[in-house]
A and B are shown apart, each in its own frame.
Chain A
Amino acid sequence: MKLRNSLGALACLPLLTGAPVLAAADSGSSADAAPVFEQPPAGTPNFTGKWAISKPGAHLLTANGSEPPLTAAGKAEYARRQAALKNGDRKIDPVSTCLMHGIPRLLYAPYPFLILQTTRNINFVHEVNHTYRNIYWGTMPPTDADPTYLGSALAHFDGKTLVIDSVAFNDLTWLDYSGLPHGEKLTVEERYTLSNPQTVNGSVTITDPDFYTAPWTTRFTLKRQPGMDLKESVCMDTHQM
């Protein structure tokens, strides 16, 4: 159990990438018009919208299509999980009991998600079991944070590319649906680039010396899902993750 700690968050106050731009959401000017609110500065790529990954549920491979470079410990744990899954032991999978997916697996869940980008932070709100990440702007997330399923993350722009760095993960999640392992030394770098307004070319770099002999990178594609409304998905009802 973790007590609420309001001071721990002070280490990651918003770091703005430029002056905020006040933008009305709609053109209406009546009392019913949407309020003025802060949107990303002009020229900053805007990821706000509804998205889904083009190949959900994937087994992660490196960018050149090879198996991730597991250490001996990594190979043993992965083999144990694979064998259990082949034997029909679905309960070995943490999401079978509705635990959070972890990162990057959450991105690969076969459900859409919202990205909500503001000057304050960038939020990934996933349909699957209403899981969200609330990521403030900055670099170098504090490594002394308590370990969590989704890690401690900060986001910044590298040119036109959105970069999210995450540390302080617990070891209760799988990296992908096939059971790729990780430990508490895991760090994840996600990179998101709009190749056109409807498409994100993304990559995830995994570093965990206990389970992988070297950092490795996998690539993914996101597509916008206009007109789609996120549904209420409650894992405790369905146990379908």
Chain B
Amino acid sequence: MCTVAIAQEGAPTPPQGQGGDPAARAAARDKRSANEAAEWNKNPAPQDPRDFSGVWWTRGYDRTFRPLADHPMPPGESASLLPMTPLEAASRQHHLDMEKAGTPIADAPTQCFPHGIPRLIASPYPVEFVYSPGLITMLHEVAHNVRYFHMDGKPAPADTPRTFLGYSVGHWEGNTLVIVTDHFNDRTQIDEESLSHGLQLKVTERMTKFTNRFGGVEIRNLITIEDPEHFTKPWTAERLFPWRGDTHLAEYSCEENNRNAPINGISVAK
């Protein structure tokens, strides 16, 4: 029942206490974070550090993936950290130019295809981990994306096809869930703004549960992107997923409002 890519829908309300002095603003932010943590913990997260079962929801929406920096940087500035090959630099500029011209390049989810990885990880909708023997299933509210993390220690079968979400194999390093995904097709983007990938894309996610200074529980996902055609070296971005014991996933039908539905295999944007 949701329209396509209305990112702001999932975003939290803007911070209270704007204006005034910085200390007062920081105090207001802290109070809000503490109140949120208390609300979201009423139905608490599992105690076991390796049990991620339940609902998590990233804050806000950042339509870019950028390498982790040692200090906060605006997206325009942090783009300089991207280790782009000449191919990717040209491709990125083309994306930016097309968007500036008012004819943005439609990425996969705009046409109700699965988002791709890591693109999906940035989506501002809640997710749920479901554990079963040998498998962790990750349900995404957005466009009913589903990821399967194969935890049985076996590599991808030889005949594994290339897909939007790839094939994921997981293992534990201490209390960190490590997911390696490859076998991607080349029909998705790295991020919504401008970054592309090819068939050699490999994504390694390292997810760790921790308690923040407000008592809220979060999963930190460190996402390492490798694709030698597009990047000169692997680089790592970060996303945080607060525990949300107060909510469940809702039904999301991208297809209901798909104005780019292909006719005879050809996409016809209106």
Binding site for B on A (CB under 8 A): 1-7, 9-10, 12-14, 25-26, 31-38, 48, 97-100, 114, 116, 118, 120-121, 123, 125, 129-132, 134, 136, 146, 148-150, 172, 229-232, 234-237
Contacts and interface: CB of A to CB of B under 8 A. Distances in A.
Nearest to A5: B250
Specify the main secondary structure of chain B where it touches its partner: loop
B133 A34 contact: yes
Interface of B: 1-3, 6, 9-10, 43, 46, 48, 50-51, 53-54, 111-114, 125, 128, 130-134, 137, 139, 144-146, 148, 151-153, 157, 161, 163-165, 171-174, 244, 246-251, 253, 255-258, 261-262
B202 to A, nearest CB: 17
The 10 A-B residue pairs whose C-beta atoms are closest, nearest first, are A35-B50, A2-B1, A9-B248, A6-B247, A232-B163, A98-B255, A37-B131, A25-B133, A148-B251, A130-B146
Contacts of B148: 229-230
Contacts of A38: 46, 51, 53, 131
B172 A120 contact: no
10 contacts: A1-B6, A5-B250, A12-B248, A25-B151, A35-B51, A35-B172, A120-B53, A132-B139, A149-B251, A236-B111
B48 A37 contact: yes
A232 B164 contact: yes
A3 B2 CA distance: 7
Contacts of A114: 132, 137
B253 A118 contact: no
A10 B43 CA distance: 10
Contacts of B153: 32
